[in-house]
């Protein structure tokens, strides 16, 4: 009886630690225990073993957990990818997370283009809602002659999109939000484009990482216009969708992203319209007999 109690105690302790019952039995037999007695005690513990395994994070349960995560990712891949890019962007701007209202991403020397970017964010809503005049000319600079801002990097799209936040936050916060959002939105927009082209999530994720977090962007923290790269992949995506299946909805979204790209950065407007112009010519020649697709292109280009 003493030997049976020892075997039972050994098996129970091993099961509680997550060991396999068969390996425990083999270990007892190797130590000289009676094999029949070990089997008898093991059979009596089977209900307890099942209960222990149900209450412990066994390898099977871990596998089931990973499978469940995989199934959720398959159902909502875009959401999880966006969340990953969001977390990476938060890590990137972590130095100012706790001083979002008083610090700016990229340094606190308050010199150079940081000050210019903050002035741009302040000037656009001030000229519209306080001075009630256009923002492409100001006499607040080079007074009394003033200066034209036609070719200045006002980044109108960013300023107007984040305009509601100006009711509650200062220009430093708006600047940080624009920088922060530009990283994960740029990465996610490229993910959407590459996934549409390849149907490969790994390739799309890598493309998004390269596009949204490339080192070139780190030296332009102060240039919110140059950081606003999220609209070009989206405009390209809808152009390609129109080619596959013409419809007015995609044409409207494509035109919106083209417009936002132009108002975010003059440079990107010129770069993208080089591609877009060539593509429209290709569209017109290749689909000259398809009036439906040509009409859709017309909606998008404004012709």
Q: What are the pLDDT digits (tens) for 97-118?
A: 888 777 787 765 555 688 888 8
What confidence tens digit (pLDDT) does each residue in 207-257 have? 999 999 998 888 888 888 899 999 999 999 998 888 778 788 888 898 899
Q: Which residues contact 54 (CB under 8 A, 6 or more apart)?
A: none
- 87 and 47 assigned to the same domain: no
Does 242 lie in the same domain as 166?
yes
- Check whether residue 173 and residue 267 sit in a common domain: yes
Sign of CA dihedral 216, 222, 226, 227: positive
| Per-residue pLDDT at 147 exceeds 80 | yes
* In a shared domain, residues 149 and 12: no
139 shares its domain with 33: no
| 284 and 297 Cβ atoms separated by less than 8 Å | yes
User: What pLDDT shows up at residue 109?
Assistant: 54
Higher pLDDT, 110 or 10: 10
Does position 188 have pLDDT exceeding 90, yes or no?
A: yes
Residues 175, 188: Cα–Cα separation, whole Å: 20
pLDDT of residue 156: 87
70 occurs within a structural domain: no
SS3 content of the chain, % helix, strand, coil (to 5): 75, 0, 25
Is residue 206 over pLDDT 90? Answer: yes
Q: What is the pLDDT of residue 110?
A: 52
CA gap 120, 155 in Å, rounded: 8
127 and 274 co-located in one domain = yes
191 occurs within a structural domain = yes
Distance set, CA 78 to CA 71, 72, 115, 221 (Å): 13, 11, 36, 26
**Is 21 a member of any domain?**
yes
Q: How many residues does the chain have?
A: 303
Count of the separate structural domains present in the chain: 2
Give me the pLDDT at residue 73, please: 58
Question: Is 72 part of a structural domain of the chain?
Answer: no
Residues 163 and 221 in one domain: yes
| Amino acid 18: pLDDT | 60
Q: How confident is the model at residue 184 (pLDDT cuts 50, 70, 90)?
A: very high
pLDDT tens figures, 73-96 = 566 678 889 999 999 999 988 888
Residue range of the domain that includes 52 = 2-60
For 114, residues 6+ apart whose C-beta sits below 8 A from its C-beta are: 104, 106, 107, 222
Mean pLDDT, to the nearest integer, of 292-296?
58
Is the pLDDT at 204 greater than 90? The verdict is: yes
Specify whether 115 is located in the same domain as 35: no
- The arithmetic mean of pLDDT across residues 6-17, rounded, is 72
Instruction: Check whether residue 44 and residue 134 sit in a common domain.
Output: no
The answer to whether position 28 is within a domain reads: yes
Residue 180: its pLDDT value, please? 92
pLDDT-based confidence at 50, cuts 50/70/90?
A: very low
Q: Are 90 and 180 in contact (CB under 8 A)?
A: yes
């Amino acid at each position: 009886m003493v030997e049976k109690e020892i075997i039972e105690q050994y098996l129970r302790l091993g099961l509680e630690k997550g060991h396999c019952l068969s390996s425990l039995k083999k270990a007892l037999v190797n130590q000289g225990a009676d094999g029949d007695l070990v089997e008898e005690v093991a059979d009596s513990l089977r209900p307890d073993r099942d209960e222990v395994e149900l209450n412990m994070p066994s390898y099977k349960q871990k596998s089931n957990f990973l499978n469940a995560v995989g199934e959720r990712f398959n159902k909502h891949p875009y959401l999880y990818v966006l969340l990953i890019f969001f977390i990476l962007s938060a890590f990137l701007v972590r130095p100012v997370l706790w001083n979002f209202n008083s610090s700016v991403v990229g340094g606190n020397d308050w010199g150079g283009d940081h000050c210019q970017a903050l002035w741009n964010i302040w000037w656009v809503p001030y000229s519209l809602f306080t001075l009630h005049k256009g923002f492409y000319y100001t006499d607040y600079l080079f007074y009394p002659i003033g200066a034209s801002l036609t070719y200045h990097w006002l980044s109108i799209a960013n300023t107007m999109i984040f305009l509601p936040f100006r009711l509650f936050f200062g220009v430093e916060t708006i600047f940080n939000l624009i920088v922060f959002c530009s990283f994960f939105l740029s990465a996610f927009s490229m993910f959407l484009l590459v996934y549409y082209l390849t149907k490969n999530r790994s390739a799309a994720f890598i493309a998004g990482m390269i596009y949204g977090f490339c080192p070139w962007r780190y030296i332009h923290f102060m240039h919110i216009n140059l950081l606003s790269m999220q609209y070009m992949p989206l405009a390209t995506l809808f152009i390609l969708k129109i080619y596959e299946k013409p419809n007015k909805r995609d044409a409207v979204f494509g035109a919106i992203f083209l417009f936002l790209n132009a108002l975010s950065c003059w440079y990107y407007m010129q770069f993208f319209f080089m591609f877009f112009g060539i593509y429209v010519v290709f569209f017109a020649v290749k689909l000259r007999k398809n009036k439906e697709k040509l009409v859709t292109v017309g909606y998008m280009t404004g012709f």
